[in-house]
Structure formats: structure tokens, C-alpha cells
Structure 1
Amino acid sequence: MRTFRLTALVALATMLITAGPPNAASAGGKPHDRAGYLRVGYFTQWGIYDRAYTVGKLDTSGAASQLTHVNYAFGNVSEDGRCYVDGGPGEGDAWADYQRPVPAEESVDGVADAWGEPLNGNFGQLAKLKAKHPDLKVLISLGGWSWSTYFSNAARTDASRKAFVASCIDLYLKGNLPILDGGSGGPGAAAGVFDGIDLDWEWPNWPGEPGNVIRPEDRENFTKLLAEFRRQLDAYGRQTRKHYQLTAFLPANPATMDAGFEGRKIFRYLDFATVQGYDFHGGWDPVTNQQSALRVPAGAPDDPDFSAEVAIDGWIARGAPRGKLVLGIPYYGRGWTGVTGGGNGLFQPATGPAPATFEAGYEDYRRLKTLTGAGYTLHRDPRGGHAWLFDGTTFWTYDDPAVVEQKMRYVRRAGLAGAMIWSLDGDDDNATLTRTIGLGLAGR
């Protein structure tokens, strides 16, 4: 049954992708010529709680077999510019990372953790997942929206960059974790878990979360920070006879690209970069809109507007090699309520973000998929490459399997490196979206 449904989605997406015109990324683009496409999924540290999404579910759902990379979100950066793990409120969750004894029913190998083992929690499970899926790479992602506060301090001088990079390699690659109550952690406890580092600085020389340190020199210092990471990662790799990967998460906003990043230069040091393909609009806007359309929809109220195509074309225009760009795919939707104006709900006034399970205006795909037929009507824009749900009052914009498949055909036609997922815990128990990405990039 699942095979039939995915095959039908491929046929639908074939029609959808051909509905749009060529663009700077796809016109004349050559197919990706490496052995396979990158399929990068972010696993959230906190997903084990309310969402009950454990590392074990990556295996039992079939998601792990579809992925090339798991990015663990997130590692923190201290005010004095160091990588660190701290269980303090708002500063980290060492319990989830490597202290929590994982019970047998959640464990990748079916074996329960004992209290006080050097490597429990998510880190221990990631080690077991890699043992079961030996081609899978796991990267520690540093920063994120909430923890980019002090990146600027870490990147500010040659000395600060050297110290910051050394601290990250020591903590995550050498695995020298702080010893916690009960005994978890210690020298080398997490050695071998992580295969590289992902930088998620949101954003250099551009406002992110209120309170972030921002400096005009962030733009140049980001490039210098990548160079220092590449230098130290390669030096450590010569000792261990391994290549440690270096990646970065990049914005969709062209203004942010120009303010914070030196275009072509940064790709000298990156194995690849993931590009924001979502959060183009949300409940903060006064009218409903798309949050992750492939192309800017006809009739969009904002000109210029954001889209996946705009983001990718923006990076290519700034010198990014298309074969190092990975398009971000959301496993959640953005929603509005109090929608007036009738019609299908798109581009209509709203009173605010829609009620949702964990955060107003934000809902996981696994929940949104249940709304079709429950008072909501599913709408599509074949040219724009986006879908939405509307019940006359509440509006949700999200990616369903047909939209995801359409985007995978865009990735292939544009010669991009692959797809990225934010975040894996938004998928259903059958990993429907992740399997769709795998199927779409396989070209079947």
C-alpha cells in the first residue's frame, strides 16, 4: 500500500515540477554527478521529551536507512567563546545528551543503559545507531536560533578562533565530556560519535534572537572561523586517519547573505552547506502566506518575496557551487487563525498565529496530515510548489509528500547536493517524508 501511494505521489510531482519555468539554478543545470545525494536530518536534543522522538525511532521508523547525515541540535557557545555542555537552565541538557539511562524499549540495540555509564543518553544511542548503519555520518551542530548569542565573541580574533575550535574538537570529536553526578562522561567518553561539525550561526552581522552579539566584522570573521575549523579538523584527521566534515546552515534572505557571508570564499572550507528553505512567512505576518514554497506564488503580496528558488539562486549568484548546496525541507507547518476574506484562505487577513500543540503557529507534519478530511480542505499551487490547509477560519501552510517530491525533482534538475530536514521529529512513525526524500532523490 505504501509503495502504491509513493508511486502515485511521484506521478503527481512529475506534473507539478514541470508546471514551473526554468530559473537561474535549474536552467541548463547538470544532474548531480556524485555517488548519491546528501540527505541530512536534524535530530533535536529536546525531541525526546514532549514529542517522545528518540534516536531509536530513527531506526524503527526506517528514517536512518534513508539518511546520509544526522545533525545533532545543538551545541552551545559560551560568552568567552568556547564549546561547552552545561545542564543549567537555558544553557544545555547534559541529561539528554549523555547522562539519561535509556531503557531497553527505546534503545537502538534493545539493551538498556545502566546508571553512570560513561556514554548514555542521545550520544550513546547515536553511537549504537552508527554501529547499525555504518555509512551514516553524525555531526554536532553548534548554535541554532537560541544559542548563537556569543558566536561573534568566539570568531573575533585569531586567538579566540583557535581556542574556540580547539574546545569544540576536544569536547565533541575527542569526546572529552565533563564528568556528571553518577559518573557519566570523562576523557574520551564520546570519541567516535561525531564525524564533523556543523555551524549554525544565526546570523553573522545580522539580527537573530534578541541579545545576540553582532559586529560588522562578523562577515569576514565567519570566513576566518571556517578556515580555522578546516585547519584544525584536518590536523586532527591526520592523527586519526579520517576526514572530519565541516558544514554550515545558511540563510534564505539575500540581505542576510550579503551582510554576514563572503559568498564564494566560505565554500573553500565547507564540505557542503544547508540552505534555509522555510520560515519565509508565519503567524507574525498580518496575512496568511506560504512558509516554504518552491517558487514565489503568483499574486504574492510581498515583492520581492522569499522562496526556496530565491534562496538557492541567491547563493549561486554569490559564487556558491551548486554541488555544495543542500536545500532545507520543513517537517512542520506555519499557521494563522481568525482568517477572513473567504476563498481558499491564501493571502487573507488573520488575527494571529493558529493554536497548536507545542507553539502557537507551529505544528508538526505528523499532526497536520490528520487534518485533511477533518474539516480542512487541502489546496495546492502547482507552479509555486506549495500546499495549504484551510477550514474557513484557520490556515496551515506546510510540505506534504507531493510537495517534497516536487522539491526533490528540483534538487536533481538544478544539480544541487541534496536535501536537509528540519527536523526529524516532525515526521510520522513511518518516516513518510524522509522516505519520500529518499525515493525522490533516487529518481524513481
Structure 2
Amino acid sequence: MVARHRRLGPLLVLLTLIAQPTAAFSFFTPRVVGYYASWTAYGGYSPERIPGGLLTHVIYAFANISDDGRVILGDACLDAGRCEGRYSAAQTPGGSFAQMRKLKNQYPHLKILIAIGGWNWSRNFSDAALSAESRSRFVSSALELFLDQWPGLFDGFDLDWEYPVAGGRPENRYRPDDWRNYALLIAEFRRQLDARGVADSRRYLLTVAAPASPAHVLQKQVWEKIDALVDWVNLMTYDYHTAGGMTHFNAPLFAVTDDPAPDMNVHATVQRYLAAGLSAEKISMGLPFFGHGFGGVQSDGDGLFEAAKQHSSGTEWGVGAVSFRELRRHRKPTLTRYWHPEAQVPWLFDREARIWISYDDTESIARKLDYVVSQALGGVMIWELSGDDGSLLPAINRRLLSK
């Protein structure tokens, strides 16, 4: 059963955007970048399951940062098979990196990057970026680890600092100059990476993951510098409403009428970055292969913008983060699908169980791909690959990469 929600305003906006020129797409192939979350191997999603033919780039997440500011493996046993006598449920000869090499051999067009940091391992980024000496040590350690020990495997690096100045985990270190220092860190990475590229007779990629929230102030002078240094920016256009006590969309394309947070949506984020000096072709817009559920929703209607609780008791299915694959496999018949013509995304609501879930499916992703084309963006980024049930990535590939 599908119920349709109210108001049609943003449809006119979307149609106008689609009608705009898309000249940038005639000059290069749009990127389809997929993050591979290393820990999903414990659940059976090993690198050999990545559909490399449907992607242009894979980013392996994550490497960690030591307390002395050096880049280190996130999980030596899982990543590299260096288990030193301990048992790992996902242990394989050579670790996941060996499987990534096989994937690359199978799909020669595929570029593989290694991401550094992420939500759990951004604690030491501020220290690593603080001085010329610490920046040089950070970058040289990354190149020595991944380019020397696994030659030919990695085509570049992705910096995922969550987040400069504010936000992220409470134990993270912060400084007012974090954004300035981040740009300097990226510049040092670009310098050393280019020098290494000359020595290796090739060019290495450098990308960053960037926050979507307007709470992270976008400094034009900083982003103009970053724009000139990186190959592209992975915008994390999702997780807009994972905190608080009200049902709201995980990744709305547009704001809706009477939206309590009208600046928390994909369109608003993209426009903020463009205004801050980021080139359209440098933007890879994030697509979530997961949803976010709320419990305790008291509503006789569709449940949108209602009081709710954020976290599961451990037994309440669908509350908290939930992958699209899990939604498709275990969706209960009591969950009714709704569609918002302004936000351009669906949701599910079970009035009896009082569970409300915001997510993306092939319909909403198609609308977002139309937006990517209309804005002449460089492509899309996916967090993360194991969340697909086998329908999302083929739909993206058909829209952006098939001729």
C-alpha cells in the first residue's frame, strides 16, 4: 500500500533544474564512488562481493591515526591478514587488501582509494594537522604504509575528518584553526603525493569527505584552496536528522513546507558548497544505502514531524540505522510506504508498532540522480556498499554510466 503526501512545490523546482544545461557531463564520465566499510566483512560482505563493474571508484574505510600522528591500519588482522595468532571471523590470507587486489585485477578500470579517519578515528586529526612537522609526518606515514607495502593497489587517499572545529565524537580534539590547518594538511598531502606520482610515473588521487550540516561553517577562502588541491569532495548528504526527538527525513532532496529545519537537505548543502567556492564538477553527492528509524511515534496520520525516540532497546526492529538490504528482506507488512513530493523521498510507518523509517529507494535515488545531472555535479558517492539489496547500484549505473 502506498500513500501520497501533500504539496507539489519542489516538483517545479526539480523540473526547472532538470531543464538546465548539463554541459559538464559531456567532458567526463560521472563518478560512481562506493565506500567499502571494512567491518562488513564480519557479516559476510567481503571485498570479493563488490560489484566492481558498476563503479568507477571504491574507497576502503578506514585507516586509523596513532597518538603520535601517524597513519596506521584500522584492523591489521582484517585488512592485511596480520593476526599474530589471534582469530578473526573474517580472516583470509593477505586480508581484505588481498581481495581488493583481486577485485582490481578483475576490473582494470576500477580505482581504489584508502580512507583515513571516519567517525570513530578522527580523534587525532587536529593534532596531525597542527604544524608543518606534524603534517609532513602524517602524510609520509600514509604513503610509506599504503604505497610501499601494497604497491599498485591504492590509487589514492580520502581524508575523512569528522569534524574540524566542532562535532564528531566527544573524545575528539578540536581547535579554532582546524579548518585552516585542514587546508594546509591537504596541501602537504597533494605535494607529497604529486612527488610520489612523478617517481612512480603516474598520478595519485586525493579526495576528502565533507559534512552536510550548516553547523560546520563553510569558509570560502578555505574551500577555494581545497577545491584547487583535491580531485573531488564526497559530500555526506545524509544523517541530517539522527539526533533529536522528532521524526524527520534521513536525506531529503529538498526542504518541505513548514519544515522545522529547512537548511538540512541535499539541495541546501550542495548550494552552500557551491557558494563557498567548490566547483560543481568536484562534488560527489552522497547517496545513503541505509535509512534511519524512530520508535514510540504516536500518530493517527503518516507520522511525519511527530515526537519520537531515537534509539532502539535492542529488540525493536527498525529503530536507529537500518540498511536498505535489511529493509527489503525484513520489512513487515504493517509498514505502509509514503512519498513526499516536496522532499522527493519515501518513508515507512507502522501505526501499531509506532515505528517510522526514513530511507531512500530506487525512486528517490532516481530523483537525486536527475538533480546531479541538472547541477552538472561530478557524480555520486555511496555510503556504504553492503547496504544494497542488488537493486540500487544497478539503477545508478544505468542512469549515470550506461551509454
The 1:331/1:145 distance shift into structure 2, 3 A limit, reads same
Q: CA deviation at 1:25?
A: 7.8
Q: In 1, are the aligned partners of 2:190 and 2:206 still within 8 Å (CA)?
A: yes
Q: CA deviation at 1:195?
A: 0.5
Give a deviation string over 1:201-225, Cα, whole Å, max 9, x none: 0111112111111011111111111
Q: Which residue of 2 aligns with 1:416?
A: 377
Rounded to whole Å, the distance in 2 between the matches of 1:204 and 1:113 is 36
Rounded to whole Å, the distance in 2 between the matches of 1:73 and 1:358 is 26
Q: CA deviation at 1:305?
A: 3.2
Q: Does 1:362 align with 2:321?
A: yes
Q: Which residue of 1 aligns with 2:88?
A: none
Q: Which residue of 1 aligns with 2:224?
A: 264
The 1:149/1:242 distance shift into structure 2, 3 A limit, reads same
Q: Which residue of 1 aligns with 2:67?
A: 79
- CA RMSD in angstroms comes to 2.5
Q: In 2, are the aligned partners of 1:25 and 1:316 still within 8 Å (CA)?
A: no
Q: In 1, are the aligned partners of 2:14 and 2:371 still within 8 Å (CA)?
A: no
Give a deviation string over 1:75-118, Cα, whole Å, max 9, x none: 01112111112xxxxxx3111101179xxxxxxxxxx965xxxx
Q: Does 1:407 align with 2:368?
A: yes
Q: CA deviation at 1:173?
A: 1.4
Classify the secondary structure of the residue corresponding to 1:262.
helix
The 1:195/1:442 distance shift into structure 2, 3 A limit, reads closer
Rounded to whole Å, the distance in 2 between the matches of 1:308 and 1:397 is 15
The 1:356/1:309 distance shift into structure 2, 3 A limit, reads farther
Q: Which residue of 2 aligns with 1:165?
A: 139
Q: CA deviation at 1:356?
A: 7.0
Gaps of 5+ in 2: 1-7, 84-90
Q: In 2, are the aligned partners of 1:204 and 1:259 still within 8 Å (CA)?
A: no
Q: Which residue of 2 aligns with 1:45?
A: 38
Q: Which residue of 2 aligns with 1:226?
A: 186
Q: Does 1:147 align with 2:108?
A: no
- 5 Å matches for 1:61-100? 63-85=51-73, 92-99=74-81
1:132 to 106, 110, 133: 106
Rounded to whole Å, the distance in 1 between the matches of 2:53 and 2:40 is 20
Q: Which residue of 1 aligns with 2:198?
A: 238
List, as ranges, runs of 4+ consecutive aligned residues in structure 1 with deviation greater than 4 Å: 22-29, 354-360
Rounded to whole Å, the distance in 2 between the matches of 1:202 and 1:191 is 28
Classify the secondary structure of the residue corresponding to 2:26.
coil
The 1:443/1:84 distance shift into structure 2, 3 A limit, reads closer
TM-score (norm 2): 0.90
Q: Which residue of 1 aligns with 2:304?
A: 346
TM-score (norm 1): 0.82
Between 1:367-376 and 1:284-293, the stretch displaced more is 367-376
Q: In 2, are the aligned partners of 1:38 and 1:69 still within 8 Å (CA)?
A: yes
Rounded to whole Å, the distance in 2 between the matches of 1:252 and 1:356 is 31
2:46 to 6, 29, 54: 54
Q: Does 1:253 align with 2:210?
A: no
The 1:378/1:127 distance shift into structure 2, 3 A limit, reads same
Classify the secondary structure of the residue corresponding to 1:266.
helix
Q: CA deviation at 1:405?
A: 1.1
Q: CA deviation at 1:36?
A: 1.3
Classify the secondary structure of the residue corresponding to 2:13.
coil
Between 1:73-82 and 1:254-263, the stretch displaced more is 254-263
Counterpart amino acid of residue 278 in structure 2: A
Q: CA deviation at 1:387?
A: 0.7
Identity %: 36
Give a deviation string over 1:339-387, Cα, whole Å, max 9, x none: 1122111111113435679995111101112455611111111231111
Rounded to whole Å, the distance in 2 between the matches of 1:56 and 1:100 is 19
Q: Which residue of 2 aligns with 1:34?
A: 27
